[in-house]
């Protein structure tokens, strides 16, 4: 097995964690939850940067993701919340290996939605949370339509087949504001080299399964509910970060709306940073050194507030 990875037993089986650098006696720990159709090894640069600042990074490969996935983009029933449970198993592992060290959870894109669900259940296990490339709740009509289409496709195709229809409905319009397009993934970054690395990576950009979309839409229809948001501890430091031209967050409207939602729930340590002109993957954007520095400095601020 690649020595940058190790496995942990989750509630329903093993999952893999990426740890490419080892930091002895780190100042604190960053646990990363990745986005959809990417994988943990893409956070190698951030890991190296943090090691140089005496911070240890652990990055989880979710179900159906990464070099050890049996079927890319395939989830079991309740896959979203099983991924959230795996995140907590990783945090428990980190606590065991690094007693008395503070932990910040960093979730990007889909990982930010999972991180929101995480802090609704397990916030006492961490000291702060960063939601990157995130968004607020989508209209129920859109989510319910997605769930219905997924259910119909499941009847005719089975839940493990890729859903090009739902993929197009979910991601197909993200490139529209960047026409004329060079690739299908121009919306990720202004840096052509980073986009090309994503396009050429066999573990990225795949079409998720019918079942994954169904479970994702179901989760997105519940994690923003008031009764769930109210379970987040009022003192938990939460930071939102996004590119001003990120179509996932409707060009910063989504993160602004989510920050307002959290503040309305009387969460008193919510902060926000919008990176001018950046797209969805700020960590892979032009000027990513400044973004990594921001992540590091934000983590330091969050743990002082916890």
Walk along the chain (306 residues) and give the pLDDT tens digit of each residue.
588 999 999 888 899 999 999 999 999 999 999 999 999 999 999 999 999 999 999 999 999 999 999 999 999 999 999 999 999 999 999 999 999 999 999 999 999 999 999 999 999 999 999 999 999 999 999 999 999 999 999 999 999 999 999 999 988 889 999 999 999 999 999 999 999 999 999 999 999 999 999 999 999 999 999 999 999 999 999 999 999 999 999 999 999 999 999 999 999 999 999 999 999 999 999 999 999 999 999 999 999 987
Beta-carbon contacts of residue 234 (< 8 Å; ≥ 6 apart): 266, 267, 268
Does pTM top 0.95 for this prediction? yes
User: Is 203 inside a domain boundary?
Assistant: no
User: Is 163 inside a domain boundary?
Assistant: no
User: Is 144 inside a domain boundary?
Assistant: no
pLDDT of residue 1: 59
Sheet of 13-18: strands edge to edge? 5-10, 13-18, 55-61, 28-33, 103-108, 128-132, 238-243, 270-275
pLDDT of residue 55: 98
User: Is 217 inside a domain boundary?
Assistant: no
**Residue-level length of the chain:** 306
SS3 10: strand
SS3 166: helix
User: Is 149 inside a domain boundary?
Assistant: no
CATH number, residue 17:
3.40.50.1820
Residue 203 contacts residue 67 (beta carbons within 8 Å): yes
- Round to whole Å and give the CA distance between 216 and 227: 19
Domain residues for the domain of 246 are 5-137+225-305
Q: Is the preceding peptide bond at 93 cis, omega within 30 degrees of 0?
A: no
User: Is 148 inside a domain boundary?
Assistant: no
User: Is 145 inside a domain boundary?
Assistant: no
Number of domains in the chain: 1
pLDDT of residue 40: 98
User: Is 152 inside a domain boundary?
Assistant: no
Residue 275 contacts residue 243 (beta carbons within 8 Å): yes
């Amino acid at each position: 097995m690649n020595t940058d990875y190790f496995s942990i037993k989750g509630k329903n089986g093993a999952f893999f964690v990426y740890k490419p650098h080892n930091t002895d006696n780190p100042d604190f720990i960053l646990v990363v939850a990745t986005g959809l159709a990417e994988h943990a090894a893409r956070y190698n640069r951030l890991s190296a940067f943090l090691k140089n600042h005496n911070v240890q990074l652990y990055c989880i490969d979710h179900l159906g993701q990464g070099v050890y996935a049996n079927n890319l983009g395939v989830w079991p029933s309740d896959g979203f919340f099983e991924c959230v449970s795996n995140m907590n198993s990783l945090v428990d592992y980190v606590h065991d290996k690094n007693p008395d060290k503070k932990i910040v959870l960093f979730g990007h894109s889909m990982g930010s939605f999972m991180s929101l669900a995480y802090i609704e259940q397990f916030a006492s296990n961490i000291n702060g949370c960063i939601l990157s490339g995130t968004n607020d709740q989508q209209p129920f009509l859109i989510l319910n339509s997605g769930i219905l289409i997924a259910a119909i496709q499941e009847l005719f195709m089975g839940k493990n087949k890729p859903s090009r229809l739902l993929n197009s409905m979910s991601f197909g319009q993200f490139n529209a504001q960047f026409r004329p397009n060079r690739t299908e993934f121009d919306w990720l970054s202004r840096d052509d080299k980073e986009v090309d690395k994503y396009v050429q990576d066999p573990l990225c950009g795949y079409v998720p399964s019918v079942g994954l979309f169904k479970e994702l839409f179901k989760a997105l229809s519940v994690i923003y509910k008031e009764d769930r948001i109210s379970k987040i501890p009022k003192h938990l430091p939460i930071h939102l970060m996004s590119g001003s031209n990120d179509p996932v967050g409707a060009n910063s409207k989504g993160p602004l709306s989510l920050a307002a939602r959290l503040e309305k729930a009387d969460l008193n340590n919510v902060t926000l940073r919008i990176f001018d002109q950046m797209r969805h993957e700020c960590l892979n954007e032009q000027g990513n050194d400044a973004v990594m520095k921001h992540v590091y400095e934000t983590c330091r601020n969050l743990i002082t507030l916890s």
